[in-house]
Amino acid sequence: MSTRRRATNALRMSRARMADIQFADLSYEVQVGYRGTKKQILKGVNGIFKAAELTAIMGPSGAGKSTLLNILTGFLQGHLTGKVEYISSEGRQNWNNYKKQSCYIQQTDNLYGLFTVQESMMMVTYLKIGKATKMFRQILIDNILETLKLSKVKDTMVDRLSGGQKKRLSIALELIDNPPIMFLDEPTTGLDSLASIQCISALQTLAKGGRTVICTIHQPTAALYQMFDHIYLVVDGQCLYAGSPDNTVSYFAQQGFQCPQYHNPADYMLEVVSKEYGDYNNQLIEAAKEHCRREETPLKMRIMREASFYDEKTRMMMDPPSELMKFKTLLYRCALIVYRDWTVSHIKVAVTFLVAILLGLTFEHSGQDASKTLSNVSFLMITTMYFIYTNMFPAVLKFPLELAILKKERFNNWYQLKTYYVATLVMAIPLTLFYTSVYSAISYVLTRQPMEWNRFLMFLTMMILTSFISESLGLSLGTLFNPINGTFFGAIIACAMIMLAGFLVFFNHMPKILYYISYMNYYRFALDGLVLAIYGYQREMLQCPSHIEYCHFRAPSMILEELRMTKSLFWIDTVVLIVWLFILRIVTYITLKRRLSKVC
């Protein structure tokens, strides 16, 4: 079988993967307020959504349609009673078995705008498909884009797409691994009439291919309404109608509600259940229980008739990749974002270069001038604080800005959280090394610090560790709080660290309780390591200018004694900072996972 044919078959549904979704006595409640009463959102709803059909869950605002969709996807699992089953040729299965075979496309299109459509699709193929050749991947991409009418924008940047094109791209990305079940939340929201028709038409095509496609929709036009195969009307957490769009008018006529001629059936149906013609909802609920049941039809004959077969090689090509391959793909994606987002890389390089020159000129010769020893310690302190601020505060925003994308991709099984987390951290390593090296090389020379390689490397080591720890602290704050509170607490922590660093208030003058608390301050150990790098380990006497009669800190040991650092050891400072780094990395991962569990 040719590669092109295999790629085409990869978009068709195999008989074993097609599935109906059946739910019975489904109820869901939420607690209003911290200790408030419980409110029931769904009240014992029943239904069946079949494969090869496009189903619309309709209802007025607050009716429970999004809640029902989220329960069927597994997005909500809290105070839930009832049963949800997936019925395939292999029998009845629960949600855990079908979780990895379904996808959920949310109302907002959470996409990276710095990639083209082609780049976005290709990267997702490496996240979802393991052993396929590049030709197979490209043909598969072309087929999907052709199906969703996106071929003409293949080389367009995502942030330049229209709303309808972004929605179809969101669908295209999930089609890479050919999921048998697709859930969409309000896919036409924010789209004009033409874009809405194009979107629903694309979903209709996908459903005819054997998929179970379910979406919520608020108030469709008459043209959109007729494009659905099955309508499930939810009002006040209960089903008031379940049937085809063609039967809507006749069904409501049987219940005593005659839809006016040329009136949109969807609008009329919502007007009736919204009590514009009186409160008849209880009557409709009872009628729906009696007349709107769908018989559970045997799937075997229908699947054999409508489904195609994978050959063994096609099936192997569509197997998911290893986490290592996903890690490499995510690392490449991070690198591409850094390269194209000039606010991340270019500005920071320029600012780091300018700050290094500015501080170097401000503290000129302070490294070898005995009369400027305290100024030189101030330079070391400002340098440390510069790297704390420039690494902590951007990091506070890192995960909150990507949380929606991360939530979508993780829920749809693109990768594991640990893979994404490690790729993000690894990508930051070369950038941090570059920024700290540029700054250290320039400022170290301009301030005339001792020109010894071992001292410079000790200086650089402290800067690198400080940068990594500050970034980790910022990431932790970003996962614990919203961006505003995270920035606020970050500033408070930074101020406290400055106060307890041992220079603005010497350790000799500090109250004992604060002195012991200062051991929890990584800034203390960073500054301690820098002072040791410059003045420790038997450094020779400093130069005292000829116009100054006495330099108290001409002997480097004097400043160490004044700062209470005579017994400090550089390697201990290094070990403490490394421990801090590992602790914060672990805390960040735990808090990120916890935050995602709240939204997932």
Taking the chain (600 residues) in consecutive chunks of 10 residues, what is each chunk's mean pLDDT?
55 67 87 72 89 91 86 77 82 71 86 94 93 88 91 93 92 90 89 87 88 90 92 90 90 87 87 82 81 56 49 58 93 92 83 94 89 90 94 93 91 92 94 94 93 93 96 95 93 92 84 90 93 89 82 84 86 95 96 80
Q: What is the C-alpha separation between 386 and 439, in angstroms, rounded?
A: 10
The DSSP letter of residue 518 is G
Two tokens, residue 344:
């991340």
Q: What is the C-alpha separation between 362 and 266, in angstroms, rounded?
A: 72
Strand order in the sheet with 91-93: 38-49, 20-31, 80-88, 91-93
Two tokens, residue 357:
């020159």
- C-alpha distances out from residue 528 to 348, 384, 504, 507, 564, Å: 27, 11, 13, 12, 10
Q: What is the C-alpha separation between 590 and 592, in angstroms, rounded?
A: 5
CA angle 514, 516, 520 (to 5 degrees): 95
- DSSP code per residue over 153-206: GTTSBGGGS-HHHHHHHHHHHHTTT--SEEEESSTTTT--HHHHHHHHHHHHHH
- 513-522: which pairs have CB atoms within 8 A and are 24 or more residues apart? 521/496, 521/497, 522/466, 522/469, 522/497, 522/576, 522/577, 522/580
Residue 91 contacts by C-beta under 8 Å, 6 or more apart in sequence? none
What phi, psi does 365 have (nearest 5°)? 65, 5
**pLDDT score for 570:** 93
Q: What is the C-alpha separation between 208 and 311, in angstroms, rounded?
A: 21
Nearest to 499 by CA among 484, 487, 517: 517
CA angle 352, 355, 356 (to 5 degrees): 85
DSSP H helical segments within 413-544, as ranges? 417-446, 453-480, 483-499, 512-517, 522-535
Length of the chain: 600
Q: State how far Cα 169 lies from the chain centre.
A: 17
- C-alpha distances out from residue 142 to 95, 313, 427, Å: 31, 20, 30
For residue 498, give the amino acid letter. Answer: I
Nearest to 106 by CA among 140, 73, 144: 73
Pairing mode of beta strands 91-93, 230-235: unpaired
CA angle 447, 452, 453 (to 5 degrees): 110
Q: State the Rg of the chain over Cα.
A: 32
- Give one word for 529, left, alpha or beta, with left for phi > 0 and alpha for psi -120 to 50: alpha
Q: What is the C-alpha separation between 31 and 473, in angstroms, rounded?
A: 34
Q: What is the C-alpha separation between 247 and 215, in angstroms, rounded?
A: 20
Nearest to 45 by CA among 25, 15, 31: 25
**pLDDT score for 327:** 96
For residue 494, give the amino acid letter. Answer: A
Q: Is the pTM of this model over 0.75?
A: yes
- C-alpha distances out from residue 506 to 72, 236, 418, 430, Å: 62, 67, 42, 36
Quickly count: other Cβ atoms within 10 Å of residue 309's Cβ. 11
Query: Collapsing DSSP states into helix, strand and coil, what is residue 321?
Result: coil
Q: What is the C-alpha separation between 409 and 264, in angstroms, rounded?
A: 37
